[in-house]
A and B are shown apart, each in its own frame.
Chain A
Amino acid sequence: MVNLYTLVLLALSQFVLATGQVCLKHASGSDARPVSDGLVRAGWYSVGIASMASWFFIWLHLMRFFDLNRLFAFEGLSPLLVAGASALFLEEKISARAWSASVLIAFGIVLVALF
């Protein structure tokens, strides 16, 4: 059932999913930018895990309004959103090839969910 409420919930679920992944990435650091401070790392992990838990419960709530396969089709958005969030908040350089690959994956997930 698509209405304003479910659309807002869908957008929120994808937003907290991307937020959670960005926070977990911040916590994990990278070869170029390692996270050394234990407290800072614990903070990022906490926010990341809390975001992922929020995503899980919003997703569970959304299952009351959509058939599972229809709901999973919306998960196709997540590779694109996570790529966008990585570019915005983690300053990752995403090549045109990587964007194209993300679009292919997104379409693939939608097809897998719908059939």
Chain B
Amino acid sequence: MAKTVKSVAAVSPNKPLSPDRSRRVIKNRWSPVAIVILNAVLATCAEVLLKIGAMQTLSIRLPGPIAFVSAVFSLWVVLGIVAYVGSLFLWLAALSHLPLHLAYGLSSTVHILVPLACWLVLHETIPIGRLVGMLLILAGTLMLGFAHK
């Protein structure tokens, strides 16, 4: 189990906090949120890397029914899998410090980051309806993030 982080709720509201302690409380409050966001960033990287890998023409191709496994011979696909595994570990780390509903909601930022990454890296377009959806998700995750005590 990761080192226990003291929650803000554990700090008495009546006692004034020293500047050092306030900084620690703020750090403790936002660190798990930062881990969830980092998890979403890694998951986005994984999606883009897998997409690039899937579009590549491979020099090694396995026969018949296991042909789909040939994708692992692409460096991009391997990097994508590594990024996915990394994001899973970050998710598990964040879960031990955040309520599930909050962590799950915040992880929805991946639905903003993937279209943005596709636009930036793969030059895909973002229709106006999708943009509105991304803004709604952004508003929701900001509301959740600031609701976190």
Name A's B-contacting residues (CB within 8 A): 21-22, 24-25, 28-32, 34-36, 78-79, 82-83, 85-87, 90, 92, 94-95, 97-98, 100-105, 107-115
Contact = CB atoms under 8 A, between A and B. Distances in A.
A109 to B, nearest CB: 5
Contact of A108 (B104, B136, B144): B136
A36 B1 CA distance: 8
Secondary structure class of chain B's binding surface, majority of residues: helix
Contact of B100 (A25, A35, A114): A25
By size class, the interface of chain B is 35 or more
B140 A105 contact: yes
Given A34-B1, A108-B111, A101 B105 contact: yes
Interface in B95-111: 95-97, 99-102, 104-105, 108, 111
B101 A104 contact: no
B133 A108 contact: yes
A110 B138 CA distance: 14
A111 B139 CA distance: 14
B100 A21 contact: yes
Contacts of B132: 111
B78 interface: no
B44 interface: no
